[in-house]
Structure 1
Amino acid sequence: MPDRNAPELRPEWGELLARDDYKRDFRERDALIRGRDSWKLERRQYFEEQGSPSWEAARRGDWGEALRLLEDRRPALLAIGREDAARRSFFHRVRVVERPWTDYLRWQLHSLRIRAECGERVRMVDAAELADSEEFGQLPEIVVLGGHTLYQVRYSEAGIPAGAIRYTDPDLVLRWEGYLADLHRVGEDVLAYFEREAVHGRRWFGGR
């Protein structure tokens, strides 16, 4: 694992963005990226995926429908992967995993597998490996976009998106980019993880 703790991050160093402002700011900045990668850290074990018919089906226990709807997104994800390749800008995701798995994580593993098959670079890290970085609290949800913008993505206690704090200090962005790159480097590829845990481990669906 990385031989350093996570960089410090204080809310007063950034600018608070409401949810719609964050989404708009993210889209505008992402569209300008050429030749630089982006990084995401997902630490929470549950998010409320608003507007996701697949997640709603999983919540109802209809896993067949949930997986079918995830597969329906494959063409759009392949198009994103081709665009990323053309821009020479790839999205790297670090997904932290705790046990026992939440039903959300069981569902998300299928989503992450498809994303990886479509070009996203996803790696899994066990929460136990983050003990040094989490001595004083759980790591935040982080996106580092193209080496120039850091977002601390905010959620309610129920996992509902609540905007973000935007940071643009170059040194701060660089430190977090390096930390996430280190986590990604030592993590396990999601396809190998999925094969071992979800297929061989028979943990495909909630409650199993």
Structure 2
Amino acid sequence: MLDLRTPVPLLPDASGVRLTRPEYHREFREHRKEIRGSDSWKLERLQHFEETNDESRDALRNGDWPEVLRLFETERDDTLQEAREQESRGAPFHRIRVVEEPLTPYVQWELHWLRMRAECGHPVRVLPATAVASVETEGLLPELTLLGNRVLFRVIYTESGRPDGAIRFTDPHLVQEWAAYLEKLYVAAESMQTYFDRVVAPLAPPAAA
């Protein structure tokens, strides 16, 4: 059985640099396009986010599930191209989605989108919350993005789930420890497709959220 204890020390705010949402988005894009021959990682733990400027999210709020699925399909060609571009640079972007069951409407919506991305060649895995319960006695795992073993972002959200920038960490030892930890979580997780077929596919469309 894998030891899923988090690295010590954790990620105190004082060890990083606080970024506004536009600053985080700009730095994410700049770092992402420079990566060659190195993995990147994303860990999602919260079970509800308030996505903005997203038509499929608006369709979910309105209870229009067929429109949600149609909009996901319109992204397929661009998603395929993105996966091929990442492969050509040797820079895969791995996603680890922690899930609690029963699924929230948001997570059910997101898993359909992640399944589409997995079908297009993006590495996505699902980790049950029970697998990390023993390390969450003092709080949930953070929302993280780690790019090319260079920079780690702890992504910040408001209590209502709205994005609120990030804290950037660049200490090499800290970044390497968290890269190893995220890889360990990824290995422990289930493939997106098998989880989707087993848990998500049988579900009725989620309620309007």
Counterpart position of 1:13 = 15
2:178 to 176, 179, 191: 176
| Secondary structure in structure 2 of the residue aligned to 1:77 | helix
Counterpart position of 2:169 = 167
The percentage of counterpart residues that share the same residue type is: 47
1:94-122 Cα distance to aligned partner (Å, 9 max, x none): 10001221100110110000111112111
1:54-75 Cα distance to aligned partner (Å, 9 max, x none): 1110111100001000110011
Verify: 1:103 aligned to 2:102, yes or no.
no
Q: 1:2 is aligned with what amino acid? A: L
Mapped to 2, the partners of 1:191 and 1:66 lie a distance apart of 19
* Alignment check: 8 A CA contact 1:2 1:179 kept: no
2:156 to 134, 144, 154: 154
Cα deviation for residue 2 of structure 1 reads 3.4
Gaps in structure 1 of 5+ consecutive residues: none
Mapped to 2, the partners of 1:180 and 1:4 lie a distance apart of 9
Verify: 1:64 aligned to 2:66, yes or no.
yes
Deviating above 2 A after TM superposition, structure 1's stretches of 4 or more consecutive aligned residues are none
Counterpart position of 2:92 = 90
* Alignment check: 8 A CA contact 1:140 1:152 kept: yes
Mapped to 1, the partners of 2:96 and 2:43 lie a distance apart of 5
Counterpart position of 2:119 = 117
| Secondary structure in structure 1 of the residue aligned to 2:5 | coil
* Alignment check: 8 A CA contact 2:4 2:185 kept: no
Q: 1:180 is aligned with what amino acid? A: L
| Secondary structure in structure 2 of the residue aligned to 1:79 | helix
Mapped to 2, the partners of 1:89 and 1:189 lie a distance apart of 19
Number of aligned positions between the proteins: 205
Cα deviation for residue 126 of structure 1 reads 0.6
- RMSD of the alignment, in Å? 1.0
2:193 to 186, 191, 194: 191
* Alignment check: 8 A CA contact 2:39 2:92 kept: yes
Q: 2:12 is aligned with what amino acid? A: R
| Secondary structure in structure 1 of the residue aligned to 2:199 | helix
CA separation of 1:91 and 1:4: change in aligned 2, threshold 3 A: same
Counterpart position of 2:40 = 38
Mapped to 2, the partners of 1:70 and 1:189 lie a distance apart of 20
TM-score by length of structure 2 reads 0.95
* Alignment check: 8 A CA contact 2:18 2:168 kept: yes
